[in-house]
Amino acid sequence: PSVLQKLEGSKSRGQLLIFGATNWDLIGRKEVPKQQAAYRNLGQNLWGPHRYGGLGGLRVRSVVSGPCAAHSLLISADGRLWSWGRNEKGQLGHGDTKRVEAPKLIEVLASEAIVAAACGRNHTLALTDPTAAPAGIGDPVPAPTGIPSHPCFPPGSNPIMYNGQPITKLGCGAEFSMVLDCKGNLFSFGCPEYGQLGHNSDGKFIARAQRIEYDCELVPRRVGIFVERTKDGQVLPVPNVVVRDVACGANHTV
């Protein structure tokens, strides 16, 4: 409970402001796909802060985006999750693949209290507060919920199979995710292609027809060891590592 209280943020009213590129079909792309050509002229660059007029008196607690995401998230003061932007893989969580121009409530999570969230390229993570939802079996542990499309998950809003200590932080890269618990343990899952999961492997294997594929981590796996290189070139384990924060780039983790 003490951890969750820290995540609640300010009680004062927050307003959502946006500036920069607003043509979601163009963001993150070198050119507009042919099937999207009709939308080529939609949106514009906002050279200064603007408000979304349709949000009314909505109190905003936090806003979330990602290093390679073309969608954004809003967590309201009452713990509800809103999303908007590109949606080809269903990452907005509205049960379809339609682009959304302004924040829209994710109805499938409306009964949950959301305390944190993260955006990947085509997937979304949300951290729920079980103390504000119907009681389950066992100790209440903040649980992450995934919204498609992570390369390893089927479509839909899916609870992540995690049974560890209460979670304090989420992070998403392009096609992978990180979870940090209250004890300072770091967990990762998703695509390991560039070693970004921290398990000393890129997960590469040769599939049929000599095609290279990558063995994804389907559930959060603890990063078991941290190492450092000494001045004389030795690689040694770093003992007693307690992680306090985590951030993800497209294909790397800090």
- Tally Cβ neighbours within 10 Å of residue 126: 26
Decide: 111 and 145 in contact? Cβ < 8 Å. no
Summarised one tens digit per residue, pLDDT across range 207-220 is 777 787 878 888 99
The predicted-structure confidence for 40-58, as pLDDT tens digits, reads as follows: 666 678 899 999 888 888 8
Counting DSSP H helices and E strands in the chain, the numbers are 1, 18
pLDDT for 135 equals 33
Q: Per-residue pLDDT averaged across 144-155, rounded?
A: 59
pTM of the model: 0.81
Q: How far apart are CA 136 and CA 133, in angstroms?
A: 9
- pLDDT band at 151; cut points 50, 70, 90: very low
In angstroms, the Cα distances linking 76 to 109, 112, 218 are 13, 12, 30
For range 225-229, the mean pLDDT: 93
Q: Confidence band (pLDDT; 50, 70, 90) for 2?
A: very low
- Structure token pair of residue 199: 């398990």
Which one, of 69, 79, 74, lies nearest residue 51 by Cα?
Answer: 74
Tokens 């509205």: give the residue.
94
Least confident of 6-10, 129-133, 190-194, 225-229: 6-10
pLDDT at 130: 75
Name every residue whose Cβ is closer than 8 Å to that of residue 78 and which is 6 or more positions away in sequence. Answer: 59
For 122-137, the pLDDT digits (tens) are 999 999 987 654 333 3
Q: What is the DSSP string of 2-51?
A: HHHHHHT---S----EEEEE--TTTTT-SS--GGGGGGTT---EEEEEEE
| Better pLDDT: 76 or 133 | 76
Region of 11 (left: φ > 0; alpha: ψ -120 to 50; beta: rest) is alpha
**For residue range 79-124, what is the model confidence (pLDDT) as tens digits?**
999 999 999 999 999 999 999 989 999 999 999 999 999 999 999 9
Q: Rounded to an integer, what distance in angstroms lies between the CA atom of residue 190 and that of residue 122?
A: 12
